Every structure is written in C-alpha cells, then in structure tokens.
Structure 1
Amino acid sequence: MEIAVLAPLLVVVLFAALAAGLWIGFALIAVGLVAMLAASTAPVTLVFATKVWGSLTVWDLTSLPMFIWMGEILVRSRLSSDMFEGLAPFTRRLPGRLLHVNVLGCALFAAVSGSSAATTATIGRMSIPELTARGYDPKMAIGTLAGAGTFGFLIPPSIILIVYGAATEQSIAQLFLAGLVPGVMLAAMFSGYIMIWAMLNPTRMPDIEPAVNGRDSLRALARLLPVVGLIIAVIGSIYAGIASPTEAAVIGVVGAMILAWATGAASWRGIGDSLMAASTTTCMIAFIMAGAGFLTVAMGYTGIPRALAAWIGAMDLSPYALLAALTVFFIIMGMFLDGISIVVLTVSIILPMVTAVGLDPIWFGVFLVIVVEMSQITPPVGFNLFVLQKITGRDILQLAGYALPFFLILVAAVALLSVFPQIALWLPRTM
C-alpha cells in the first residue's frame, strides 16, 4: 500500500480505536497490526512478541514502579499536609502570599513523587479548600495549581524522563540533572507572574494574614525537614554517585515508609492501597510502552518514518524552525493523548530529525517534557484538568481558561530553553 494512503489510514485507525474507548496501549497495538498487515510480509506474531518483550525488559525501567510507589505512600501520609503548613509562613510577605504555596508545594512534592497527576491531586486537596476559605480568588488559586502541577513531569525524579531515557538509551541521571535548572526556572516564572498579578489586582487579594512569630516559623521549618531530607536522600544519592536511579528509587520507598510510620500516618492497609495504586499505574505505563514499541517497529516496515524524515530534510528547516513546528505538533497531540503516550509514540521518529540538525538528545528530552507539560492543561485530554475537575466540580473548559496564563508561561519557557540551551545542559556538563 502506498505511503500516501497508508499514513492517513493509520491515523484514522488510531483515533477510531481511542474514540471507541480502547486503552491507549491496545490502540497502539491495533495500529501496529494494521500497519504490518498492510505493508509487510514479516511474521506479525514473532515481531510482536520480540518487540514487546524487548520494550519491557529495559533495566532503567525498574526504577519506575518504585518512584511511583514512593509518591503513592506520600499521598497517604501526613507529610504532604505538613509540607503545605510548613511553607505558608514563609510566603506571607510576598505579593500573592499563600498563592505561592501552590507553586512551592508542587515543586517540592514533584521532587518526591515524579508524577504530575499525583502532584496536582495531593497539593490540590490541601490548598484549594484552604485558599478558598481564606478569601483568595478561586480562579487564581485553581490556575496556579493547574500550572504548577505540571512540575511532576520535569523536576526529578520524573517518571516521563525515565520513560524518555529508556526509549532513547540516554542516561537517566543526566536527564535528571538537565531537568533541575529548568524546573527551578519555571517555578520562578510562575511565582513572578503571581506577584505581578497580585500587585495589579489588590482588590482581589484577601486581607494580610497575622504576623508569625519566630517560634511558629521554626515549627513550620521543622515540618519541612522530612520532605527536604527525603529529596536530598533520593536525588543526592544519584548525583553523588552513591546509587543508581533504580537504587535511589528503593531508598525513596524505604524513606517514605519510615517517615509515614514515624508520623503515625502509615497502616498496613494504607501500604497495601499504595502498592495496588502503584501497580495499576505501572501496568498502565507498561501497556503503553509495549504498544508503542510494537508500533515503532511496524512503522519501520511501512517506511513512513523514513519518508517523513526525508520530507522534513528536503524542507531544509533551521533548528529553530524545526523546534517551532515540533512544539505546535506536540501541543496538538497533547489535546488527545497523555504525556507518556506522546513520548513513547513519537520519540523514535522525531529524535533522528532532531539529532540531524545538531540538537543534543539530553536537551531535547527536557524540551519535550516541557512541551508535553502543556498537554496536562489543554482540553479535551488534560490530566491535570481532570484531577482539578474532580476536586472542584467545575467544567473542564472553565478550568482550562484558569490555566491559560500558565500555559503561555510554559510556551515562554520553551522559547527561553530553545534560545539558551545551556539552561538545561549546564548542570549535566559540569557534574
């Protein structure tokens, strides 16, 4: 079958399968089957079995379920609420005051969970009722949470960076290093916007909270120490060369359990629930990776990636033009697929084009993650929006409107990262 006919057919099959309610992993397998039957005489069952096994037996992926489990344990402990209450006294003097807790809380929790949805859900359960009760503008409270919740994709240990590293055979430790500075930059940009908004809209801000004495500040600081200590133990052990990412994930799980038991928030039922939730999430990601792995091989048989690469090569795009085109492409993809699906589905086709124009694959991983972060707050398939809809009961399009300023900040961050790639590459190249 001609590529000009086959490519649109496969797109139709993919969206038809998704519209029918088929799980994303199985939808990708269905597209791969159609592609191989239409374009190849190779034994489909043998190719399928070999590639699925190869996709899931990657050593770097062993850290994935452990980091997910660590986040699930923390969601069920008191550490998350302690973190919120510990941050609050240190933001009262900033323009925007407690709105910054959403940004700082999400940044801290992302560093111990690795999941965007878990970060949004955990911080949202605490901050939305608290901010609403104190008279903060609900649109801004929800919007800051929607934007800052995307930090779970970028700030290490990031689940999506692990998936990208496994799919592209890049160093996960280097990717974690590359994500640190952009993560801090994004948090600073979000907080900067909050301060500007608060100064421009003083009538939409509540009265200033009572001053906090030194003793209360020390108590608040003490509440932050367990979370900060866990972050240092997990991330520091990787960067110090003491542990691999997989071993650091085990340290994180053990540390999360110890802290949960020490605060009296752990129970055998809670541990069992966290393990079941982590297993469910891991299996979902595994199905997606298996389906994407098979589809990648099937696409190779069709010749579509080669034709696409040749077509883009013939256009003789500059690196900036290529990145602009990819940004638009990934934003559109993000309206229909979740972040992990986007990465595993497209990276094998896109990465050769990116490296051909001289872009660093480690840098591109961070670029890709920030662009994919946008998909978390774009309808109709925005996972952070789904989480917030469950918490607030508001319409998803309304929530997307609240998140729009932070979507634009993410676009600005992508532009900065493209113009100044050292934002992501400086740390990996100096350590």
Structure 2
Amino acid sequence: MSFNRKVLLGPAALLAVVGLTVVALRPAYAATLTEVTNFGANPGGMRMHVYVPDARPANPAIVVAMHGCGGSGPGFYSGSEFASLADRYGFIVIYPSATQQAGFGNCFDTWSDAAKRRGGGSDPVSVVSMVTYVERQFGGDPNRVYATGSSSGGMMTNEMLALYPDVFKAGAAFMGVPFNCFANAADYPPGSSRCTGGGMDRTPQQWGDAVRQAYAGYTGPRPRVQLWHGTSDTLVPYQLLQEEIEQWTDVFGLSQTPMATDTPQSGWNRRRYADGSGTVRVEAYSIQGAGHSLPAPGMAAYAIAFFGIDGTGGTPSSPGSPTSSRPSSPPASSPPASSPPPGGAACRVADTVNAWNTGLTENITITNTGGAAINGWALTFTLPAGQSITSGWNAAYSPNSGAVTARNVSYNAVLPPGGSTSIGFQATHTGNTARPPAFALNGTACAAA
C-alpha cells in the first residue's frame, strides 16, 4: 500500500482556498472525548477517539497520544494531561486504542513485518488514517502533527516517526524502545524478549539504518525526537534509552556526545543533541528513581513545549539554556496523591493479569458508578501470597505486598459520574498469578466488571 500525502491533504487545502470554516463541516463536539468510526483504512482493527477543544484556531495542531499495553484511548485520555493542555493551547488530540494481542493484550503492533514497513498495514496505517481524518474533518494543520505515548505507545511513537517522517514533525516517547527492536510477536512479551530482556545492543549505525530502510529513498526532513525513561524501570529496561538515543542521533548525523546537559526539575537529567545551527533535534530525559510509571505530572507539558505548540517555539537555538524549551507555566494540578480521599463511592473494577515466568502485570480500570463526582480516591485490595509490586503507573502504591492501597496521582484525582481511569503495576510472583479477590474504593466495595 502506497501512501500519497498530497492526495490525502487535498480536502484540507481546498477548505483554506475557498475560505469555508471548519466549524461548518465538523460534528458539534463540545470538548468531550468522542469515538469516531469509519475514519479510513484500518488494517490494525483499531478504535479511534478524538478530543476537540472548544477554543482552537482554524487550523489546529494534532497530537496522537497512545496508551500502554492493556490500556485504551479513553483510559489514556483520563489518565494523562494532554486533554487539559489541549484546552489551554487549542490543539486536537487523537487517542487510538490498540486491539491486537501479543502476550499482554491491547498493545500497539511494533513487532510484525507489516508494522515495520511504510504502508505495510497493521496499526501504523490505521494511525495515519486517523490523522488524515482529523485534517479533513477539523482542518487540522498537516504541518503540525505530533506523536506521543507511554510504554507500548512510546514504542509506537518511535515507529510512526520512522515510517512516516513526512507526516509527523516531532514525537515524545515515554518508556519506549528503538524502532525495529522486536524481532517478531514471540520476542514481544517480557520474560522472553531479547529487546526488553537486556540483550539488545546494536551500533548507532545499525539502529539508524533500520530507520532509513523503513522509508527507503526518503530525503526530506526528519521529525525531532524527545525521549523519556525512568532509571529504575525493570519492565522496559533503562538501558534502552541509550539505544534510542543512538538510533536517532545517527539518523540526524549528530555526535553521540550531547551539546548540553541540565536538570530542568529535581531528578530530571536532560541531554540535548543539536545540529550545526543549534537546533535541538534529540533530547533525552533520565528520571532518577522512576520505574515504569511515565509520564508523571508535568511531563506532558514539556512534550508539548518541545513540539512548539505552547507558544514557546519548540526548537531552541541555545541548547545550553535550561529554560529554552521549558513550558511557560506548569499545568494546574489536582489534589496531591497524599491528600485523604472523601467518603466511599459506588464503583466497578475491571482487572486483567498477564503473567510470565516469575513476573506479571496487572491492569485495573476503576469506574465511578455513582451519581456524584469523586475528588480524590484510594483503591484498596489484597495481593495473593507471593506477589510483590516492583513498579506501577497512574497511581501511588503502598505497601508493595499484602494489603495494598493505590492512591490517585494529581492528574486523575477526579472521577466524574460514569467516568473511568486505568491504573496498573508490575509485580513478581512465586507461582500464584491470581487476581486480588476484591477491591474497595474509598472504603466501599466495588462490583466486578
């Protein structure tokens, strides 16, 4: 399948020429997450949700925000800060939902041969169809399209930047792996993966060649890349950040030595790689002590600043300046995770465990089934004997075994009536991979989904 960018952009360009407003053609979305069906070619069988802020320019930027394994587009919408930033800066957010299975379930396909070839099919083609739909339906600016994601979504971010450098202008990959790291589906699950098992060490040129071969003959500009990883990540090992750096610096023909390093926030060590004009093409964040739990509060704002759609420009010419790509102000925070939650609330919990050898991941979706919003929550449950949490995401967990309490983080403290949020953790086990027998939210027992 070939990809003709000029043809796909025709309708949006025509709107600009004849002076029609996008509002006259789009559905009456009112700043809510909305599912879109029949958005175009969809070989990956994916679902698409879109968030369109009420206040936006005629040709808004587009951000594709992708969830981790076991998650969903709506879950990443409620569990990340991209929608609130869209309200502030007027860009549109696409939240794809992966549906393919590879050990964990609902992971973006970054392992198949089809997914490693431009126009080859599978999830990458589905994502590009979503972008084209938003360009056509909402007048999205084809010159301001960006990708970001967490874990499997971070892996898919690297995938999209490699396969479609003419579509995406920049990307921010949280806890990802280099493009073409996985050999096949059998290499994907932790516990058996060479890619995430610590056995992957290629030269910068080998990594760069993988990107160049994905779209052979392409000579146009490459998307700028921002990379994030926790130093204590054991699910997707921290050393893979260096492999990502080597891949993208080689693609840009940059030195492996950063032109500047700084600490924009406590525990955030940033390395920046710039070209001869001083433009930062690659920047990498090492988050001290963080496990498989990114993006943490405030990080999405740095990604949006790097893209240049928060008004700061995004392509600093002074890589030594610690504030040159910093957001103008941090996003508003919800109550901190340590604040005591209010009284009990009606709830429903869906819980999925994916286990291997001596490890497992558990993905939990909490739904407020009551008639009032929950502002601050604590989910309690008891882990089966022999299980011990090693890292988690979208909640703060304590203790790591026995009777556990998962408390909200700043960006998912509020659960509106009917609203859901997805959390999860990685754990070790000694043979018992069962789920907790029951859950309670703010002291009230939750129904099982």
- Pick the structure with more helix per residue: 1
Structure with the greater alpha carbon radius of gyration? 1
Query: Which fold has the larger relative contact order, with Cα–Cα distance below 8 Å and residues 6 or more apart in sequence?
Result: 1
- Pick the structure with more strand per residue: 2
TM-score, normalised relative to structure 1: 0.29
